Amino acid sequence: MFYSYHHIFILPFTVNLFTLEIMHEMSIVTVLIDQVIDIAQRNRLKDVQVVVLVAGQLRQVVPEMMQEAFKAVIPGTIVEGAVLRVEAEAALVRCRACQAEYQPDVDDFICRSCQKADVEILRGNDIILKTIEGNK
């Protein structure tokens, strides 16, 4: 199920763009595009115009790179020509030591109340396919 994506790496990018950074978004887009096509087909869409993704802050997704990766995988699919919108979702965590809830930074999870860094993540850790739009 995950193996059939080699075509996506025939890239319209230059090699220096094809760094770890773009690979990160690429690895997510590779999974995403499969799901978009599946949902479009089940809803009998003949094309897809807009895909809206919610990216949790803790996933460190760069929207522009996501869009580049998206453009690279859609040619030849029913998603060709679609626009990808990436909405950011801020992170929210709860301190396991003192139960305080706060918004961390990706590189700083220290509790604003007790100075520990030991958290349960409440929000901002997921990548959600929110909506797709297309024509029947």
Extended strands (E) in the chain: 50-56, 83-89, 92-95, 101-102, 119-123, 127-133
Comparing CB distances to another protein, the nearer of 5 and 102 is: 5
Specify the DSSP class assigned to residue 12. S
State the nearest-atom distance from the C-beta of 105 to Zn ion, in Å: 16
Comparing CB distances to Zn ion, the nearer of 35 and 113 is: 113
| Interaction partner, residue 108 (Zn ion, another protein, none; CB < 5-8 Å by kind) | another protein
Burial (CB count within 10 angstroms: exposed 0-12, middle 13-18, buried 19+), residue 102:
middle
113 binds Zn ion (CB under 5 A): yes
State the nearest-atom distance from the C-beta of 115 to Zn ion, in Å: 7
The binding site for another protein (CB under 8 A) comprises 1-3, 5-6, 9, 20-21, 23-24, 26-28, 30-32, 35, 39-40, 43, 45, 53, 58-60, 106-110, 116-118, 126-136
- The CA distance from 17 to 5, in Å, is 19
- The CA distance from 48 to 39, in Å, is 10
Q: Which residues contact Zn ion (rule: CB under 5 A)?
A: 95, 97-98, 100, 111, 113-114
